[in-house]
Structure 1
């Protein structure tokens, strides 16, 4: 009992340490997110400020050509600018001494005011950022007369920075977040509440002009604003439960161990010398026909049992069913927990099968990760129900020192179709069905069919032929144009790999890519596609009929190569293709495998000018987090969402959401699989500008593409 108490106390201490670590990591993640958000807010404010200054700069440039001589003339010139901006509260005109001569919305009954203002273009440090009121930021552009080095006049504006920042911040802040603005030089608070001592904080500089950072934006979140059911709380609760279950398990193990010791003592006492020889003979026979770990019959014993059953019931060919249970992750458990846990788990699985077995069933362990059950008088329906019950029993959690281990399995069923079927063939059929079940998502119970064997032979032949085609350069590229729906011009082309077998059948790109991935030829295939596509595009550039860009698909397996970015950039340089006219289409597998390396690769390509697109967006693992952390500028709506437009409500909602999200993130949207005019019209109404599909052009070889581009040369020449 003392040992159990010590173990539970150790678990509680570990839980507390994990709880503290999780809380710290959660705070760090919140601060990182706040830093990203406040930097985006700062850039948005700076863009709006630049917009106001651009209007003032344009007006100053016009006035510099013809300096007004009267207030009415000046007022007429600046009236339109003031009407166009909601943040410019007043405009003023100052002479070379910076004395205000004219000012809109000013009290003309008093002397003209003289106040300080910032001048765009002055050296760093001369901006008068000591102005305390954010609603009265005064900024002016100098106006020069001919042959004068010093400004003759100043055209300025009083900008309501507070209103501008409020307008931009409303799109970024939630109810738990607050914005505080301080002066960059002395941390004087200009706007907002005092930051809470325990709040998560993110900061970013705010440049009023391009010369210096005048202010600092601080975005902070109220303490305790995160969700109540968070990871630290879940760790704490889980730790309590684990400590409780561990104590109960150890206590039961103690009782069970004592019971087994008592039983073993009784058995040893009853043994005698007369039975020793008989025991030795039986043990030898048992070892030859049983698994040494689980004591279940082995493959040899199962084969002999089936042969015996076939011989006894040769007149009833359908009275025997064989169920093969294929354990999925038994080797992983051995690697993670060791051989002892591996063996203990197999023993437990064997006992579970014994508990669910029917009276006449024959259970065997035919390999390290496979069990087999031979059942008599089982109809196909009963066999499937029985197999599902077996699968459910196998996948019950297994506990080792209060740690839960989950085992999954695939189940295959085979029947004796005729009386002459040998036992080895029945076993092979069951194993084939189990292998097929393992290939399916969410493992199911699969019944063997002769088509499975034919499919395996066909798959083997296809893999061999495609491997030979890749190694022998028998592949070719086809191209499908992307269309601008506004003017029906060709906005780009996508390169698609094609291969035609010896019988004339065209093998789909998905089959080629999947086979290349399975056989380890993906890198060789990807390098060939990149070079072939760029070489073709360079030829189109030389002929002055190239579309704006060429899109090249990159498989997720290719990102396992850490030199992928260098390979693509070297190919672009070798073929002398501008990087900004190359687009790489990514599968969503890139976002979940080796995230840091893939992110570095994509940022390297984006920095070189290569554009990036997500292919088949929404069908896999896409999320807003990926769009934020990866430099993606194009999303392609999968054809499965376009096929039933505009009749399927679910597809309408999905397309609307993707297009709206892309517009807000300033991403380009391309709809795939557009084959009808009503689909095109509906997508255009939703705001999707680009499409790809048979409504306009199917995929075509280089000769057909060149003829098409030559016909549309007046449009595509604009991009050359």
Structure 2
């Protein structure tokens, strides 16, 4: 009997212990769910809802005590290229490591929150503009040392926008918008820096939003078109190719220059479909001209950094060439030094792939970026395009003459062709010919032309030959 009672008690104890474990596990699950409802799963930083609560509380305290407060919007520069080239797992690991550095740079009472992707926001109570400037510099300094992620050494820089309470907004939404606008100004100012919000930015932000909304419908509404600027061979005087240049005319916004809408397209993710449209449209136009009897010309198409680093670029270019029945060597993809140097190793791989497919690559605006000669030697590049800023003051500026001469001779020694951009005078043309530059483009020859006018221009030169 005693033994039976003892066994029953033991069984009961086991049941009680199991129930306790189950309850404890449920408690941990509930606590975890409650934590995830308030904190970002990747970085363990406060999420949007906690950010909003903390911000409203901090603003109320600042209002009551007539104290300053700073809101910062931090966005990583060119983070998308890391995701595209190395994968989201590496990108996520980088974000987690970055979050720890950001948190270590501020006080316990400050809020550091991840909004989404590579966007972060900070709330700094009792912080005036001098204090905000100090914190921004500290945040940038903390990101400078390379991150060791998945056997990769990665470098990243942030662009930071700062809004001050109450001058830049009296509630969280207004301050967030102001900080966002200032962040975009920081990106335009060279990236890896910070900017305070100004009233001028408010108008620019409104304009940028208007441009973005209109640009999302521009392609389907037929508002985008390509003009073509002739490339002239400096030995024969013949047209050797065309550079496709995008134009956008909107009924209300008027003619929006590429310098304005291309950055908006890059920031909003629209540059991919717009870039594909431009590539396809340009090669179809070249096919049309050749079917009409024009000689085979090179078609140069500009690429943004995002397009160049997209994994599908080589296969997409080959697909369109096959669709248009054009030889690969007639396509020339132009990218800036900056785009190539964002991730040099990846650039080397992409250029090698394009070269293997017979597609040519040129470096646009050469001389304005920071490309290393050691990398230039490894890039499978066909041509260097000399930026017009070095051409403009020739023949009066001796420094520009020396720079242009050096670029032409260096390119020649590396087996590369050179094209001078922005040629407007006979004196500039004479100097370029003297130096051995291969091609030129600019208003001395022709402004960018609509397709029919470009065809007429080529035929006129043929008739004069």
- TM-score when normalising by structure 1: 0.47
1:698 paired to 2:447: yes
Partner of 2:22: none
Mapped partners of 2:123, 2:392: distance in 1: 44
- Any idea what SS the aligned residue of 1:414 has? strand
Consecutive unaligned residues in structure 1, runs of 5 or more:
1-290, 311-319, 352-362, 376-382
2:412 is aligned, of 663, 671, 688, to 663
Q: Is 1:414 equivalent to 2:156 in the alignment?
A: no
Of 343, 352, 356, 1:604 maps to 356
Residue 604 of structure 1, CA deviation: 2.3
Whole-Å Cα distance in 2 between the matches of residues 408 and 564 of structure 1? Answer: 27
1:548-596 deviations in Å (ceiling 9; x for gaps): 4322223332344444334323433333334443333233324543245
Q: 1:326 to 1:544 in 2, by over 3 A?
A: closer
Q: Which has the higher contact order (CA 8 A, sep 6+)?
A: 2
Question: Any idea what SS the aligned residue of 1:678 has?
Answer: helix
Cα pair distance change 1:503/1:658, threshold 3 Å = same
1:585 aligns to 2:334 (yes or no): yes
> 1: distance between equivalents of 2:347 and 2:411?
22
Report the CA distance between 1:598 and its aligned residue. 0.5
> Bigger CA drift: 514-523 or 678-687?
514-523
Matched, 1:388 2:133: yes
**1:636 Cα deviation after fit:** 0.7
Three-state SS of the structure 2 residue aligned to 1:545 is coil
Tell me the equivalent position of 2:21: none
Preserved contact between residue 384 and residue 411 of structure 2 (Cα < 8 Å):
yes
Task: Indicate whether 1:545 and 2:302 are aligned.
Answer: no
Equivalent residues of 2:289, 2:455 under 8 A apart: yes
For residues 422-476 of structure 1, the C-alpha deviation after alignment (integer angstroms, 9 at most, x for no partner) is 4547744663465346534355553322222222221111011111012444321
1:372 to 99, 120, 124: 124
In structure 2, the partner of 1:346 is 103
Alignment of 1:565-584 (within 5 A): 565-584=314-333
* Alpha-carbon offset, residue 615 of structure 1: 1.6
1:619 paired to 2:368: yes
Corresponding residue to 1:556 among 285, 295, 305 = 305
Correspondences of 1:154-553 after superposition (within 5 Å): 298-309=54-65, 321-326=68-73, 335=93, 346=103, 349-350=106-107, 364-365=110-111, 367=113, 369-374=121-126, 384-392=129-137, 410=160, 412-414=162-164, 416=166, 422-424=170-172, 427-428=175-176, 431-432=179-180, 435-436=183-184, 438-439=186-187, 440-441=189-190, 443-503=192-252, 505-546=254-295, 548-553=297-302
Cα distance in 2 between the residues matched to 1:337 and 1:553: 31
SS of residue matched to 1:583: strand
Distance 1:449 1:387, change over 3 A: same
Aligned to 1:642: 391
Q: Match for 2:460 among 711, 714, 717?
A: 711
Q: TM-score, normalised by structure 2?
A: 0.69
3-state SS of 2:371 partner: coil
| CA pair 479-394 structure 1, distance change in 2 beyond 3 A | closer
Residues 77-156 of structure 1 correspond to what in structure 2 (within 5 A)? none
Contact 1:659 1:687 in 2 (8 A): yes
Q: Which has the larger radius of gyration?
A: 1
Does structure 2 conserve the Cα–Cα contact (< 8 Å) formed by 1:592 and 1:621? no
Equivalenced residue count is 383
Instruction: Tell me whether 626-635 or 533-542 shows the greater mean CA deviation.
Output: 626-635
TM-fit CA distance, 1:660 = 0.6
CA 385–678 in structure 1, closer or farther in 2 if over 3 Å, else same: farther
Compared CA separation, residues 458 and 657, structure 1 to 2 (3 A): same
Q: Deviation at 1:695?
A: 1.4
Q: Tell me the distance in 2 between the aligned counterparts of 1:447 and 1:632.
A: 40
The SS at the match of 1:350 is: coil
